[in-house]
């Protein structure tokens, strides 16, 4: 087994042209430049090679499906570490058509696990807080590594299934794997159908931001760079077989407050938005207790509390403002789709 190092180590990143995976590629190139990176992505609607353009000459890119056993077998055999981001991840899409979520999140993860087992490679599996279900708005508790799973959508249930597969392969076959469950990410390169970039690009497109229902839903928002710094720390210091919660302690801010913050940061009145139909089965509150990651591994997020989140949002607003060519061509189609759903 090759231990974690930033020198002469080969890393395979699945879903590396997506939002979090793409940012992980950029973060790794910036902070761990000696890594040899191979990225595999199917390039579905959420994957975009333009996300990787600034580093494309410094990585190997493979367009492919993680369900392709022969391809995954080959790629895993040639690497030292696999960081598994690839997933179908949009709740609304999972309600309309669950099958791609079953295929990618369950079968794709199984395919990776079998290759990792065959070649005895290190694996880190990226998961979500949504596997835990949600909390009541007045519940003071936060999710921990021992919280029972209670997924509420095809997306979250298939991610829960993938987590269980990883744990089963650790226990049954002794694979070298860790898992992290992270709260909602925001930052550069996020698809504009997602909550925060949708509101930012709406204002940039002279469209009023849209708030689901009353906006009381709470998400423990974390900047993607904070998430990816935690993943590298888990790779370096994490205990094999363990799970780590990643959260930035921003669970005191609800969606209404987030959209108001965006409006004000972009020079609009705090009420410059309109309410739209709520999403079916919309989880109310996510809150993450990342004390294990902080106390055992020494992790500390940069964009935490109100001031930190404002700084993270400002950086994100600046990125979408300065990179219109990355998102503008898709904007009208995305808004048309939402309008058809009353959202």
- Which CATH number is 19's domain given? 3.40.50.720
Q: Are 277 and 213 in contact (CB under 8 A)?
A: yes
- Is 245 contained in some domain? yes
- Is 314 contained in some domain? no
Q: What is the pLDDT of residue 338?
A: 87
- Is 208 contained in some domain? no
Catalytic residues: 129-130, 155
**pLDDT band at residue 1 under the 50/70/90 scheme:** very low
Q: What is the pLDDT of residue 316?
A: 98
Alpha carbon distance 328, 330 (integer Å) = 5
Chain centre to alpha carbon of residue 301: 16
Percent of the chain with pLDDT over 70: 97
- Is 70 contained in some domain? yes
Above 70 in pLDDT, residue 28?
yes
Q: 285 φ, ψ to 5°?
A: -145, 130
Q: What would the mean pLDDT of 214-219 be, rounded to a whole number? A: 92
| Residues 144-149: contacts with CB under 8 Å, at least 24 apart | 144/245, 144/289, 144/292, 145/181, 145/242, 145/243, 145/244, 145/245, 145/292
7 vs 267, higher pLDDT: 267
Chain centre to alpha carbon of residue 329: 23
Instruction: Provide the whole-model pTM.
Output: 0.93
- Is 2 contained in some domain? no
Q: What would the mean pLDDT of 9-16 be, rounded to a whole number? A: 97
**pLDDT band at residue 339 under the 50/70/90 scheme:** confident
Q: What would the mean pLDDT of 74-103 be, rounded to a whole number? A: 89
Structural domain for 151, as ranges: 10-191+220-252+285-303
DSSP 151-177: --SHHHHHHHHHHHHHHHHHHHH--EE
User: Per mean pLDDT, which range of 138-142, 162-166, 233-237, 270-274 is the poorest?
Assistant: 138-142
- Is 272 contained in some domain? no
Alpha carbon distance 225, 303 (integer Å) = 9
3-state secondary structure of 289: coil
Q: What would the pLDDT profile of 256-314 be if each residue is shown by its tens digit?
A: 999 999 999 999 999 999 999 887 767 788 899 999 999 999 999 999 877 889 999 99
Q: What is the pLDDT of residue 70?
A: 98
Quote the strand ranges of the chain, DSSP E: 10-14, 36-41, 60-63, 81-84, 122-128, 176-182, 185-186, 210-212, 222-223, 243-246, 274-276
- Is 26 contained in some domain? yes
Cα 245-98-277 angle, rounded to 5 deg = 80
Q: What would the mean pLDDT of 227-235 be, rounded to a whole number? A: 98
Q: Are 204 and 328 in contact (CB under 8 A)?
A: no
State how many domains the chain has: 1
Q: How high does pLDDT run on average in the chain?
A: 93
- Is 40 contained in some domain? yes
């Amino acid at each position: 087994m090759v231990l974690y190092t930033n020198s002469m180590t080969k890393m395979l990143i699945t879903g590396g042209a997506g939002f979090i995976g793409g940012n992980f590629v950029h973060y790794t190139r910036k902070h761990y430049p000696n890594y040899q990176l191979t990225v595999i992505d199917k390039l579905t609607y959420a994957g975009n090679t333009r996300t990787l353009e600034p580093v494309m000459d410094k990585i190997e890119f493979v367009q492919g499906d993680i369900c392709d056993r022969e391809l995954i077998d080959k790629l895993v055999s040639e690497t030292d570490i696999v960081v598994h981001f690839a997933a179908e991840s949009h709740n609304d899409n999972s309600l309309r058509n669950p099958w791609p979520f079953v295929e990618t999140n369950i079968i794709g993860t199984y395919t990776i696990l079998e290759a990792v087992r065959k070649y005895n490679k290190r694996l880190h599996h990226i998961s979500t807080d949504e596997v835990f279900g949600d909390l009541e708005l007045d519940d003071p508790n936060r999710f921990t590594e021992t919280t029972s799973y209670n997924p509420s959508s095809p997306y979250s249930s298939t991610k829960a299934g993938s987590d269980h597969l990883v744990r089963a392969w650790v226990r049954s076959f002794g694979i070298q794997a860790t898992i992290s469950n992270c709260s909602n990410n925001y930052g550069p390169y996020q698809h504009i159908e997602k909550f925060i970039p949708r509101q930012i690009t709406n204002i940039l497109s002279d469209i009023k931001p849209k708030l689901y229902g009353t906006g009381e839903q709470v998400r423990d928002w974390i900047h993607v760079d904070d998430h990816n710094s935690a993943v590298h720390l888990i790779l370096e210091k994490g205990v094999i077989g363990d799970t780590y919660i990643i959260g930035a302690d921003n669970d005191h801010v609800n969606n209404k407050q987030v959209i108001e913050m965006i409006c004000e940061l972009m020079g609009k009145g705090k009420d410059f938005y309109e309410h739209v139909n709520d999403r079916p089965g919309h989880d109310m509150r996510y809150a993450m207790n990342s004390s294990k990651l902080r106390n055992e591994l020494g992790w500390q997020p940069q964009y935490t509390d109100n001031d930190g989140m404002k700084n993270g949002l400002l950086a994100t607003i600046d990125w979408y403002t300065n990179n219109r060519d990355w998102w503008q061509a898709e904007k009208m189609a995305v808004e048309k789709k939402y309008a058809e759903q009353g959202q």
